[in-house]
C-alpha cells in the first residue's frame, strides 16, 4: 500500500520553498509532499492531517528531519487555531492536496471503497476522537428527500431520487451496514454508462463529502490560509472534482480581484478591488502531464491552482509584527 503524490513537480514549482521559510502541508497523507518540500530546501514544515493513522505513519519522516517537520492531528479548517496554539502566526507557503489518500481508499475497514467490503464508515478522523455520523448513519437515518439532495448536491448524481428510493426500500428490510451492500443497491437502479465509471462512484463521493464536511473545511481553510500568508507567501491547492475546484477557483479569483462586483466573500463590496493583496500564479487550472495521468489513475482528474500574497501587501492586523523580516 502506497500513496503516489499527485502533480508533485508542479506543487514544488508553485510552492517554491526556500531556506529558512515556514510552510504548511495541510494534508500530510502519506507524507509525499512534505518529504519533497523538506528535501527541496532547508525550511520548516508544519503538517496537518485529520486522520490519526496518517500522523502515526509520519513519525518516521519526522525522525529523519529533527526540528524541521512538525506533525499535527486535526482539521485544516482549524489551521489558524492549531498553528497559533503552537506559536506559528505566519507562513511562507501552504499546500492542500484535497480528498482521500490511497491508504484510506485501499483499507476496506475505513469504508471508502465500493470495490471491497467493509463497514460503511467514511470518517477520515475515525476512532474514539471522532463522534460524528458515519456514512451508515446517513444512509439509514436521513429522510428520503434529504438523502436524494445529498447525492445530487455532493455527487452531482442525476439519478439521486431513484437511488434514495431504492435505499429507503432496502433499509426497511434491514439496515445497510457495509459498502458492498450499499453499492449493490445503487447498481440495482443505476445502469452502467459508457464511461465505464462504476454506478456507485458519485453516491460514494457524495456521502464521503457530507460525512467529513469537506466543502466547509475547504472554505474555512482557504480563508485562514490567506490570513496566515506572509507577504510573498504562496498558496497551492490540488483538487480532484468540480465541486472542490469551483470553490478554489472562486476564492482565488476573488482574492486576486479578478471577479467583477461584490462577491460572496465580500457581499457589501467593501474590499478595494483595484488594489488586491494577492496575485494568481496560475491563470487557469494546471493539469497533470500526460505521462503522470497515464501512470497514476488518481492523477487524471487533478487540477492545481496557486496564488501569492503580494510583497507590497500589508500583513493582517491580528498578526502584525509576527511576520518574518
Ligand atoms: C490526497 S491525501 C494527501 C496526500 C499527500 N499529499 C501525499 O503526498 O502523501 C489527502 C489527505 O488529507 C487528509 N484530509 C482530508 N481532509 C482534511 C481536513 N479537513 N483536515 C486535515 N486533513 C484532511 C486526509 O486524511 C488524507 O490523508
Q: Could you report the per-residue pLDDT of 252-273, keeping only the tens digit for each?
A: 999 999 876 666 666 666 555 5
d(Cα 301, Cα 288) in Å, to the nearest integer? Answer: 9
Q: What pLDDT band is residue 325 in, cutting at 50, 70 and 90?
A: very low
pLDDT tens, position by position, 225-251: 999 999 999 999 999 999 999 999 999
pLDDT in tens, 268-303: 665 555 678 999 999 999 999 999 999 998 999 999
Using a 10 angstrom Cβ sphere, with 0-12 exposed, 13-18 middle and 19 or more buried, the burial of residue 64 is exposed
Q: Which atom of ligand 1 is nearest to the CA of 213?
A: 19
Q: How far is CA 105 from the centre of its chain?
A: 14
Least confident of 50-59, 126-135, 314-323: 314-323
Question: Is 124 close to ligand 1, i.e. is its CB under 6 Å away?
Answer: yes
Task: Strands of 113-228 (E only): list them.
Answer: none
Ligand 1 in reach of 299 Cβ (< 6 A): no
Query: How many Cα atoms within 13 Å fall on the side-chain side of residue 42?
Result: 2
Q: Which of 4, 26, 28, 215 to mutate to test the pocket of ligand 1 (most atoms within 8 A of CB)?
A: 28
β-strands 303-309, 229-239 pairing: antiparallel
pLDDT class for 73, splitting at 50, 70, 90?
very high
Q: Is 76 in the pocket of ligand 1 (CB under 6 A)?
A: yes
pLDDT in tens, 124-174: 987 665 678 999 999 999 999 999 999 999 999 999 999 999 999 999 999
Query: What are the E-state strand segments in the chain?
Result: 22-25, 44-49, 69-73, 91-97, 229-239, 278-280, 303-309
What length does the chain have?
A: 325
Q: What global pTM score does this model have?
A: 0.92
Amino acid at each position: 500500500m502506497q500513496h503516489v503524490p499527485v502533480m508533485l513537480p508542479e506543487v514544488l514549482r508553485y510552492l517554491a520553498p526556500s531556506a529558512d521559510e515556514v510552510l504548511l502541508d495541510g494534508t500530510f497523507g502519506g507524507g509525499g509532499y512534505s518529504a519533497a518540500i523538506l528535501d527541496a530546501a532547508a525550511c520548516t514544515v508544519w503538517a496537518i492531517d485529520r486522520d490519526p493513522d496518517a500522523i502515526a505513519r509520519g513519525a518516521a519522516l519526522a525522525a529523519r528531519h529533527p526540528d524541521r517537520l512538525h506533525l499535527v492531528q486535526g482539521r485544516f479548517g482549524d489551521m489558524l487555531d492549531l498553528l497559533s496554539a503552537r506559536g506559528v502566526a505566519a507562513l511562507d507557503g501552504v499546500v492542500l492536496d484535497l480528498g482521500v489518500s490511497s491508504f484510506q481508499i485501499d483499507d476496506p475497514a475505513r469504508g471508502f471503497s465500493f470495490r471491497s467490503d467493509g463497514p460503511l464508515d467514511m470518517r477520515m478522523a475515525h476512532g474514539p476522537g471522532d463522534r460524528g455520523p458515519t456514512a451508515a448513519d446517513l444512509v439509514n437515518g436521513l429522510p428520503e428527500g434529504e438523502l436524494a439532495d445529498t447525492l445530487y448536491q455532493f455527487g452531482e448524481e442525476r439519478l439521486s431520487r431513484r437511488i434514495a428510493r431504492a435505499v429507503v426500500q432496502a433499509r426497511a428490510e434491514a439496515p445497510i451496514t457495509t459498502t458492498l451492500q450499499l453499492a449493490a443497491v445503487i447498481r440495482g437502479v443505476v445502469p452502467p454508462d459508457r464511461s465505464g465509471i462504476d454506478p456507485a462512484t458519485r453516491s460514494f463521493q457524495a456521502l464521503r463529502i457530507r460525512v467529513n464536511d469537506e466543502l466547509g473545511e475547504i472554505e474555512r481553510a482557504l480563508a485562514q490560509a490567506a490570513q496566515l500568508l506572509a507577504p510573498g507567501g504562496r498558496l497551492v491547492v490540488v483538487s480532484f472534482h468540480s465541486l472542490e475546484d469551483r470553490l478554489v477557483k472562486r476564492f482565488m479569483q476573488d482574492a486576486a480581484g479578478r471577479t467583477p462586483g461584490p462577491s460572496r466573500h465580500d457581499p457589501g463590496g467593501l474590499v478595494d478591488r483595484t488594489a488586491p493583496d494577492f496575485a494568481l500564479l496560475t491563470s487557469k487550472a494546471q493539469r497533470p502531464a500526460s505521462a503522470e495521468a497515464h501512470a497514476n489513475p488518481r492523477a487524471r482528474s487533478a487540477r492545481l491552482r496557486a496564488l501569492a500574497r503580494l510583497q507590497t501587501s500589508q500583513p493582517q492586523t491580528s498578526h502584525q509584527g509576527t511576520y518574518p523580516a
